[in-house]
Amino acid sequence: YAAERRSIEEALTTAQNVGDTDRVRALGAFLRPGRRFLYFDPRGNGRAVEVIGDLTRARRIAVLVPGADTTLTTFDSRGSQPWSTPGGGAQALYAQATRSPSPHPDLAVVAWLGYAAPETFSNDVLTDERAGEGGKELRRFLNGVHTVNPSAHVGLLCHSYGSVVCGRAALDGPDNAAWRQVTDIALYGSPGTTAPTAAKLSSTARIWAGRGTTDWMEDVPHVRIFGLGLGPDPVSPAFGARVFDAGTGGHSGYLRPGSTSLRNLTTIALGHPTEVTPPSP
């Protein structure tokens, strides 16, 4: 963590020298006391991996995989909805877990921006090219987790285009010991995963899907033809995922404190499938 902190300090100095006020604000927040980054790369739009909790001793590890428009400058801040960012969402999830009826100090939460996320209004979100690269990086990260904590169980919480990243990680990598640590994959606000069914993603992990009732993703065509499109809707019965109640929120509201979606995603992260509530009939 110390080496990455020095890298952040150097990037902050560079941002100050060139007058990049957005990045100065973001990197200054990264350096607040108590924050720990496992990985940091300031090149381009940047990449960062933050850890909350003890990654080496946790019995459960939740990895938040964000979607489009996620950069270093939006890692913590996006309008008035901090929970819609990797950093803010990870904090909300960890807080929900530690104040649940049975607090779980053995949980670690990872805000994983380990790939070059596409822009929402770009051709990149129509294909899985960025997700393919991201899937390889996610697999590499999970291999590292297995090295330092081979007994932990991992939950992947995959939002929006991040669910495509999780899909490619599942489809393209080997069924090795690191991947078998993944017990749960939650797809929320998802445009698809490129997989035709949930069963194709894993033979061992529980596959969950949820969408808020006001999420515009419902109106996105869920098709895949000649490499364009991202495949079936994960909340459709034909896909075969375990559908959970994601409440009434929109595309950015899944990790909002107090929400039904946050409660269910936290329950999934903690590995309590019987406590996850389904949507109302």
Q: Which fold has domain 36-275?
A: Rossmann fold (3.40.50)
Q: How far is the C-alpha of 49 from the C-alpha of 111, rounded, in Å?
A: 6
Q: Are strands 153-159 and 60-65 parallel, antiparallel or unpaired?
A: parallel
pLDDT recorded at residue 105 = 65
pLDDT recorded at residue 280 = 87
Question: Which residue, 151, 194, 205, 204, is CA-closest to 171?
Answer: 194
Parse the chain into domains and list their residue ranges: 1-35, 36-275
pLDDT per residue, tens digit, the chain (281 aa), is: 999 999 999 999 999 999 999 999 999 999 999 999 999 999 999 999 999 999 999 999 999 999 999 999 999 998 889 999 999 999 999 999 988 655 566 999 999 999 999 998 788 877 888 999 999 999 999 999 999 999 999 999 999 999 999 999 999 988 999 999 999 999 999 999 999 999 999 999 999 999 999 999 988 766 665 456 688 999 999 999 999 999 999 999 999 999 999 999 999 999 999 999 999 87
pLDDT recorded at residue 99 = 80
Task: Look up residue 243 and give its two tokens.
Answer: 């559908």
Q: How far is the C-alpha of 278 from the C-alpha of 97, rounded, in Å?
A: 19
Q: How far is the C-alpha of 281 from the C-alpha of 245, rounded, in Å?
A: 10
pLDDT recorded at residue 155 = 98
pLDDT recorded at residue 226 = 44
> Three-state SS for 162?
helix
Task: Look up residue 87 and give its two tokens.
Answer: 């950093």
